Structure 1
Amino acid sequence: MAQENDSLVISLEEAVVTGTRIERQKRKVAASISTISRETIARSGELNILPLIAYQVPGFFLNDRSLTGYGVGPGSGGNISIRGISGTPNNRVLVLIDGQPQYMGIFAHPIADAYNASDIERVEVQRGAASILYGSNAMGGAINLITRKATKEGWQGAANMGYGSFGTFQGTVNAAYKQDKFHSMLSLNKNSTNGFRADADDSFDNTSAYLKLGYTFSPSLALSGDVQFSDAIYYQPGSTDAPQEEDRREYLRGRAAVSLTNDWENVSGALLLFHNFGTHEFQTGFSSKDQNQGLTFFQNISLLPKQVITVGIDYKRFGGKAFNETLPPPARTGLGEQHLINETDLYIQVQQDLGERLSLNAGVRKVQNSQYGGKVLPGFGLAFQAAKNVTFKASSSKAFRSPSVVDLFLFPTSNEMLQPEELWNHEAGFQALFMDRKLEIEVMAFLAKGDNLIQVNPINTPPIGRNTGSFSNNGIESQIRFRSSELWQFVLNYAYVNASENVLFAPTHNLNFQGDFSINKFTISPFFQLIGGLRNSLQESAENENYALLNLKGMYQINPKISAYISGKNLLDEAYQLENGFPMPGVNFMTGIHLKF
């Protein structure tokens, strides 16, 4: 797995695993990869990993609407967008945990409240199509959350407790133990809020736990397994035009995974088994039980000098049951029945270095789905080191999204004849280091063309889902990272997206600045965000949303093991809505303490 690096500095020699399935120097990977280290995660103080990704990754946008927690179901937050590609529900950006796909079995979207920062060692985000290696749903990109494990002999642990505005509480405690070839880690997390809406109940409560165990048989063979549970209660407040006095939604999410990794001289890879499950109970009458399980097996083989051939097989079975007895019979289409979809994919990717400067890659994935049949996805790219610290990159790749259970079987709009959505992603750009590698600049231009999108047109008779939609997004992503010393560092990123269609969570202009400035025992961490041209409604007459956010966190190191902090968000008291009818909180504060033991 990729090694941890400095929090805000990335060297062109940094190794990544996302986009290649093997640890490889970032400058030799044609795809656009952004990384976030464990140090950055810890310094941020974020309980959930998604807000930190929004700060650090250009072109990434997160639909947030509360002080803590996102919720599930229609009208909830947590939608992820990369390069203006998202969905409602969000099923066009794939979230992975240790390279294994994570999404709800019926609606095929990730569950935002399940991704706790305390459990994550490192984040790698592939911006742009990632289906060659990761399959369905990776149209806009793939977010690979690499989990933590104990790395030092003996016991280590940490705790973080904070309390703030509107009765908001965030707490986490974790402990890790390593002895010789055995390692383990346990974490417990709790976040809750009374909510800030005066016209409706928008309270939230979530309790989660994570356990990882592993054993290293030899330097070339290791076994590990982990389990994670998240139990939440979310009150959906409704829009300001139709506030809900009480719309309670309970959901339990869980996952279990086992991995066996091998690393021999010319052959390396892994066998990954995973099982995700969940139960949802809504006060409105809706309930569901879903599952998403499967295996991933891949091997990286070196037959020739400077060549790696990755061959793999993925198998997934996803689906479940949904119920709602309060609906009239015509609206109950497909409810109460067990629906399962099987998908088996074969893929191969070849990476070849020509000399020391040019790296080429090409791959193809063959998909076989129990519902719609087969699909073939090609992709290729190159990385050229023009100078010692300057690399140019270009790639073209096809991605797809298989129709979900709700698309195919549930409710009157379902259609069993649906085909997968498709996308071609083309991109080119460069990354460079200056000032003795203290300054890094990255610029990437892209063109994403989607087709065969599943849409429901109420004018059609009957109004069912059909493969009729298309879009063409183009734009540019840029990022500047600078670190003068351990005391002063910052990251600045800007993304421009020209979306051909009126889509949610795809701002035209997205600028983020985050810094860390230390003086003696004090550290000040400002964050500034400027958003322009955000469509927060699908109605053509709705005006674009434009806003500026300022957050500030101050920390004081009491001693090497104890630090206290205070943070303020939306200090400009900006009035804005990421989704029409759902106002965001104004100025709010939190104070707390970090402990190491």
Structure 2
Amino acid sequence: MKLCVKILTSLLLSLFVVVVWARAEEPGKPEKVKEKKETKTVLEEVTVTAAPYTPPVTPVDTPYGTQYNVVTEEQIKLQNSYDFPSTLRDVPGVFFQNKNLLGSQTSHSLYIRGRGASHPSSDLAIEFDGVPRFGALFGQVLGDSIAVSTIGGMKVYKSPQPSQFGSGYALVSVLPRYMMNEGEEATLDASGGSYSTFDQRLSAGLKKGPIDVYASQSWVSTDGHRDHSDASQQSYYANMGYQISKQWNLRLLANYVKSRTEAPMPDTAPTTINGVSWPGAERYDTETFLTTLTLSHQYENFGGYIKPYWNHTDFDLIQELTNGQRYAGGTGGLHSQQQIRLYGIRGREKLNLWPGGEILVGADLDMTDLKNTQRTYSGLAVAGINGGLAKRVWDFPDTQLLSPYVAMNQTIGTKEGFHLIPSTGVRYYNHDQFEDKWAPQGGLVIGYGNTDLNINYARGVNYPTPVVLMNFVLQSSSVANASRYWRTIKPEVVDHYEAGITHTWPNRGSVGATVFRDQGKDRFRAYMYGPIPTQFNDTIGHYEIRGLELTGTVTPFKNLEFFAGATWLKAEATGSDRIERDHLPYTPGFQFQAGVNWGFLEYYRLFMDMQHVRDVYQGTSFRTGGFTISDLSHANKLSDFTLVNARVSRRLDFLPARLGDSEVFFAVNNIFDQKYEYAKGYPMPGTTYFAGMSIKFH
């Protein structure tokens, strides 16, 4: 019945779009011809190849009193990023964990303003082309499923914004590459460097008349800076569009990615979890296929889209080494395979029906089909929970989450002078397994000219991933009427308060300051082992994160720009035992990012950036025990570190060969050979060197 309601809602949304379209096409209502601009207007879910450079520290203000940061394709190139986590290294308030030169690991690995260290959980959402693309079982980021060659840009939402995304406290939205400009182009990128690192990318695009096609293939690999730290990734990508009419466009995207990342042995001895010795080295194999079909439209006073999607991911976690010895036949070694199917349909419509007014209405229907299978290499019994079985299978219930939303804002005044923009919105979550929730938001923008004060409140809702049901859905489980337990689980909620002020000097610089406060409650736990919990949500404990961000850019001369961002975080948490803690895992006390982008001698460009981090404690906020907060001692504190990186390039243009926007480059990471680590016992590489070229034909 619920599924029928959800399908009906989606059909009604589709019908709404068609009706509005039909009314717009009624005879007797001549179409207004807008002045043709040099740059094509595109929907916010789509980005453009070769987008202009924008510093990632500069927040973008919205009419809802909120902000987000942008990482452009050009910024990613200047950073010489080889994997997904490294593309985010210059965004204030964003921190990631790694153990390799490139490649990602399972569990938590990305943190935004102190959120993301819970396990299992999906505190952070990752979207590609506006649809989910992450580990929906344990809530992993699964960065290995996203190839850098397919990223046309990213929007980073660092706080709950119900009008922009659903479940989760923050969002990284990856905008895909596609062909925009009329004509043809082909690009070959190749680079290599320390530890036999190699990166190769081949892409080609065509836009002629109503048709545009963009396709790419990429391969990146490294031997790693330590034993057992190899990584590789291959990707095949296509994005095709057809302009049905002046207002309507149909676009098909498909992407296949296959990756392997090996986690090295720690310097310290393996730990013990639930009485079982956890191996010191593992391998992560990721194979994923994503496709989206987008029907979009843009009229003078309204525009929107409908987007069905399908994402099929197999993620294998393989234990390979323990105590420095490789597992031999018959001695164990676990192999866990997560089968993740994410599918659904999303739709949105933006209406500008009167001067200065905007109404945003939409709905997300997201469904999952999840399974986890664990076995040994030898086929012997798996030790641990529920006795010795040759394999263990967790067949999780299919989930359906329908989240319709509506928001509106009204601009009073003019951008050049005094202006006032009040806004409000709400999203409703209807989940077929867990409790339903409402998430309101409200905002106010007060500004004069190039100065804006943004004030907003929003409620974030974080739904459990189905792994919280783990010991209920084990095929050998003897729990009767298990559904009566998990239907009492409530999602976590956080009340977010934020105020920010920004001022810009066009073409000269900008400054900004943002203060925020998160107050969370209803922390949920997972039934992964031990006795059945008598309570799944903590009604006593709470947590709070307060922060301040300062950002600035300055362009003293043409082709010379400096940027910087600083973030201070203060965390406090109280468990059901009423014991207070003043540290949370991977919540830096202070974080500073800065850089310079300098074009000189007509053809040369120098880009340098730095990351400084202080007062970081490693750890995981486990949800498998009670509602106590782990005490992070000095032994959990990571050493403060400062990384400095540089890249210098020389542009190549040779018009007779139709060669343009090409370059050769040389890059150095960790110039001063800083000793640092993101997790105890896993030292990161010292100074590394890379060189390469990009040849583009038009």
Output the TM-score relative to the length of structure 2.
Answer: 0.77
Is 1:402 aligned to residue 463 of structure 2? yes
Task: State whether residues 231 and 253 of structure 1, in contact with CA within 8 Å, keep that contact through their aligned partners in structure 2.
Answer: yes
In the other structure, the counterpart of 1:216 is 243
Between the aligned partners of 1:545 and 1:45, the Cα distance in structure 2 is 25
Between the aligned partners of 1:476 and 1:11, the Cα distance in structure 2 is 14
- Report the Cα offset of residue 418 of structure 1: 2.3
Between the aligned partners of 2:392 and 2:369, the Cα distance in structure 1 is 12
Between the aligned partners of 1:81 and 1:254, the Cα distance in structure 2 is 25
In the other structure, the counterpart of 1:353 is 411
Task: State whether residues 225 and 258 of structure 1, in contact with CA within 8 Å, keep that contact through their aligned partners in structure 2.
Answer: yes
3-state secondary structure, aligned to 1:583:
coil
Between the aligned partners of 2:454 and 2:256, the Cα distance in structure 1 is 40
Structure 1 window deviating more from structure 2 (346-355 vs 84-93): it is: 84-93
3-state secondary structure, aligned to 2:287:
strand
Is 1:285 aligned to residue 335 of structure 2? yes
Between the aligned partners of 1:373 and 1:36, the Cα distance in structure 2 is 35
User: Which amino acid letter does the alignment assign opposite residue 511 of structure 2?
Assistant: I
- Structure 1 unpaired stretches of 5+: 17-25
3-state secondary structure, aligned to 2:164:
helix
Between the aligned partners of 2:527 and 2:510, the Cα distance in structure 1 is 46
Between the aligned partners of 1:106 and 1:457, the Cα distance in structure 2 is 14
User: Which amino acid letter does the alignment assign opposite residue 443 of structure 2?
Assistant: G
Is 1:339 aligned to residue 366 of structure 2? no
3-state secondary structure, aligned to 1:343:
strand
In the other structure, the counterpart of 1:495 is 567
Between the aligned partners of 2:652 and 2:249, the Cα distance in structure 1 is 39
In the other structure, the counterpart of 1:23 is none
Is 1:266 aligned to residue 324 of structure 2? no
Is 1:592 aligned to residue 692 of structure 2? yes
In the other structure, the counterpart of 1:275 is 310
Distance change >3 Å, CA 458–CA 595, structure 1 → 2: closer
The alignment-based identity, stated in percent, is 18
Distance change >3 Å, CA 462–CA 372, structure 1 → 2: closer
Q: Which structure 2 residues correspond to residues 39-118 of structure 1 after superposition, within 5 A? A: 39-55=74-90, 57-71=91-105, 73-74=106-107, 79-89=109-119, 91-118=122-149
Distance change >3 Å, CA 28–CA 456, structure 1 → 2: closer
Task: State whether residues 8 and 489 of structure 1, in contact with CA within 8 Å, keep that contact through their aligned partners in structure 2.
Answer: no
- Report the Cα offset of residue 300 of structure 1: 1.7
Structure 1 window deviating more from structure 2 (396-405 vs 43-52): it is: 43-52
| 1:24-78 superposed Cα distances (whole Å, 9 cap, x missing partner) | xx463411121233333343332335323221x211112132211113x35xxx7
Between structure 1 and structure 2, the one with the greater Rg is 2
- Structure 2 unpaired stretches of 5+: 1-42, 271-278, 319-333, 376-381, 574-582, 621-631, 655-659
Task: State whether residues 383 and 391 of structure 1, in contact with CA within 8 Å, keep that contact through their aligned partners in structure 2.
Answer: yes
3-state secondary structure, aligned to 1:409:
helix
Between the aligned partners of 1:478 and 1:164, the Cα distance in structure 2 is 35
Which is richer in strand?
Answer: 1
User: Which amino acid letter does the alignment assign opposite residue 494 of structure 2?
Assistant: L
- Report the Cα offset of residue 172 of structure 1: 1.5
In the other structure, the counterpart of 1:453 is 523
3-state secondary structure, aligned to 1:534:
coil
Structure 1 window deviating more from structure 2 (536-545 vs 573-582): it is: 536-545
| 1:560-594 superposed Cα distances (whole Å, 9 cap, x missing partner) | 54422121111222222212222211111111112
- Report the Cα offset of residue 480 of structure 1: 0.9
Is 1:364 aligned to residue 426 of structure 2? yes
- Report the Cα offset of residue 360 of structure 1: 1.4
3-state secondary structure, aligned to 1:271:
strand
Match 2:63 to one of 28, 32, 35: 28
Task: State whether residues 469 and 526 of structure 2, in contact with CA within 8 Å, keep that contact through their aligned partners in structure 1.
Answer: no
User: Which amino acid letter does the alignment assign opposite residue 227 of structure 1?
Assistant: A
3-state secondary structure, aligned to 1:408:
helix
Distance change >3 Å, CA 280–CA 52, structure 1 → 2: closer
Structure 1 window deviating more from structure 2 (249-258 vs 327-336): it is: 327-336
Distance change >3 Å, CA 229–CA 530, structure 1 → 2: same
3-state secondary structure, aligned to 1:51:
helix
| 1:360-393 superposed Cα distances (whole Å, 9 cap, x missing partner) | 11111111101123111111001111x2110000
- Report the Cα offset of residue 559 of structure 1: 4.1
Distance change >3 Å, CA 572–CA 360, structure 1 → 2: same
Structure 1 window deviating more from structure 2 (245-254 vs 515-524): it is: 245-254
Is 1:143 aligned to residue 172 of structure 2? yes
User: Which amino acid letter does the alignment assign opposite residue 450 of structure 1?
Assistant: G
Distance change >3 Å, CA 210–CA 557, structure 1 → 2: same
Distance change >3 Å, CA 285–CA 334, structure 1 → 2: closer
Structure 1 window deviating more from structure 2 (387-396 vs 31-40): it is: 31-40
Distance change >3 Å, CA 547–CA 111, structure 1 → 2: same
Is 1:130 aligned to residue 161 of structure 2? yes
In the other structure, the counterpart of 2:633 is 540
3-state secondary structure, aligned to 2:393:
coil
Cα RMSD, aligned residues only: 2.8
Q: Which structure 2 residues correspond to residues 383-532 of structure 1 after superposition, within 5 A? A: 383-385=445-447, 387-410=448-471, 416=486, 417-434=488-505, 436-455=506-525, 462=532, 466-468=536-538, 470-501=542-573, 502-520=583-601, 521-532=603-614
Task: State whether residues 468 and 527 of structure 2, in contact with CA within 8 Å, keep that contact through their aligned partners in structure 1.
Answer: no
Task: State whether residues 114 and 545 of structure 2, in contact with CA within 8 Å, keep that contact through their aligned partners in structure 1.
Answer: yes
Between the aligned partners of 1:354 and 1:318, the Cα distance in structure 2 is 43
3-state secondary structure, aligned to 2:85:
helix
User: Which amino acid letter does the alignment assign opposite residue 125 of structure 1?
Assistant: V
Between the aligned partners of 2:677 and 2:409, the Cα distance in structure 1 is 45
3-state secondary structure, aligned to 1:582:
coil
- Report the Cα offset of residue 142 of structure 1: 1.7
Task: State whether residues 536 and 545 of structure 1, in contact with CA within 8 Å, keep that contact through their aligned partners in structure 2.
Answer: no
- Aligned residues between the structures: 575
3-state secondary structure, aligned to 1:94:
strand
3-state secondary structure, aligned to 1:272:
strand
3-state secondary structure, aligned to 2:312:
strand
Match 2:351 to one of 286, 295, 301: 301
- Report the Cα offset of residue 174 of structure 1: 1.3
Between the aligned partners of 2:558 and 2:216, the Cα distance in structure 1 is 29
Task: State whether residues 162 and 425 of structure 2, in contact with CA within 8 Å, keep that contact through their aligned partners in structure 1.
Answer: no
3-state secondary structure, aligned to 1:46:
coil
Is 1:554 aligned to residue 615 of structure 2? no
In the other structure, the counterpart of 1:256 is 291
In the other structure, the counterpart of 2:327 is none
